[in-house]
Amino acid sequence: MSNKPRVAVFDFACCEGCQLQIVNLEEEILDLIGAVDVVEWREAMSEQSSNYDVAIIEGSITRPEDEERLWLIRSRAKVLIALGACATIGGINKLKNNFDLRDVKKWVYGKDAEKPHLNTELTRSVAQVVKVDYLIHGCPIDRKEFTYIMRCILTGKKPEIPEWPVCVECKLKDNRCLWETGQTCLGPIIRAGCGARCPSSGFRCFGCRGYVNNPNINAAKDVIERYGLDVEVLKRKMNLFGSGNTQVTANG
């Protein structure tokens, strides 16, 4: 058996878009795959394994059976990585937490809503259920950041994840602030690392990387003051990714 770390990729409730980002790494993926043994990855291979060192989890936890499966994966993995907003903060799936779950099931499944296999529960992020070692933020993840974090993990280094708001990256790019055009941009309170992807294309930041740590302290105060904003008011405007706790930390 090789000495390479054994890696398994698992998905829960998600669109699989973050896994697709990994598949699309092209040359980079060959380097990464050369450094590890991929032992399970439903999107890319048919083999399965219960023997792995690193578990990469995409998706949020939305059913009782998801929780059991996640605990089992956690018990087997030395290192657990939450991949993408669904896993790190619950993602878009958390929108359903704003409604009565019986209504949600009826809207989605109609007359089949009460069938037992369609059971559902409040959406949680992976870190709300088990201990997470590393978080890879974004919806979808940034491919470069994924590669960087994986390399750090494989070489025993601590990845540096930005602890400053999107506004910092946005201003470095000399973008015109979208608050001037009447858009409700959440950049002052959202963790950077995406290169201010949305504001640089003329769209508001809607918060897919979750809150910067301690937004009351670390928000972009100059933007907040210039446009007469308030951190708590901004948080209330985070309706796509903001249903519940969106500030998470990991030990990595």
Q: Which residues bind ligand SF4 (CB under 6 A)?
A: 14-18, 58, 84-86, 91-92, 138-140, 166-167, 170-171, 175, 177-179, 185, 187-188, 190, 194, 196-199, 205-209, 220, 223
Q: Nearest-CB residue to ligand SF4?
A: 187
CB of 171 to ligand SF4, least distance (A): 6
CB of 23 to ligand SF4, least distance (A): 13
Contact assessment for residue 141 and residue 57, using Cβ atoms and an 8 Å cutoff: no
* Lookup result for tokens 């929108």: 95
CB of 98 to ligand SF4, least distance (A): 17
Residue 251: count other Cβ atoms within 10 Å of its Cβ.
10
Please write down the HEC assignment for all residues of the chain: CCCCCEEEEEECECCCHHHHHHHCCCHHHHHHHHHCEEEEECCCCCCCCCCCCEEEEECEECCHHHHHHHHHHHHHCCEEEEECHHHHHCHHHHHHHHCCHHHHHHHHHHHHCCCHHHCCCCCECHHHCCCCCEEECECCECHHHHHHHHHHHHHCCCCCCCCCEHHHHHHHCCCCCHHHHCCCCCHHHEECCCCCCCHHHCCCCCCCCCECCCHHHHCCHHHHHHCCCCHHHHHHCCCCCCCCCCCCCCCC
Q: Whose Cβ is closer to ligand SF4: residue 39's or residue 223's?
A: 223
Q: Whose Cβ is closer to ligand SF4: residue 130's or residue 139's?
A: 139
Q: Whose Cβ is closer to ligand SF4: residue 39's or residue 57's?
A: 57
CB of 157 to ligand SF4, least distance (A): 24
Q: Whose Cβ is closer to ligand SF4: residue 100's or residue 174's?
A: 174
CB of 158 to ligand SF4, least distance (A): 22
CB of 48 to ligand SF4, least distance (A): 21
Q: Whose Cβ is closer to ligand SF4: residue 15's or residue 29's?
A: 15
Q: Whose Cβ is closer to ligand SF4: residue 175's or residue 245's?
A: 175
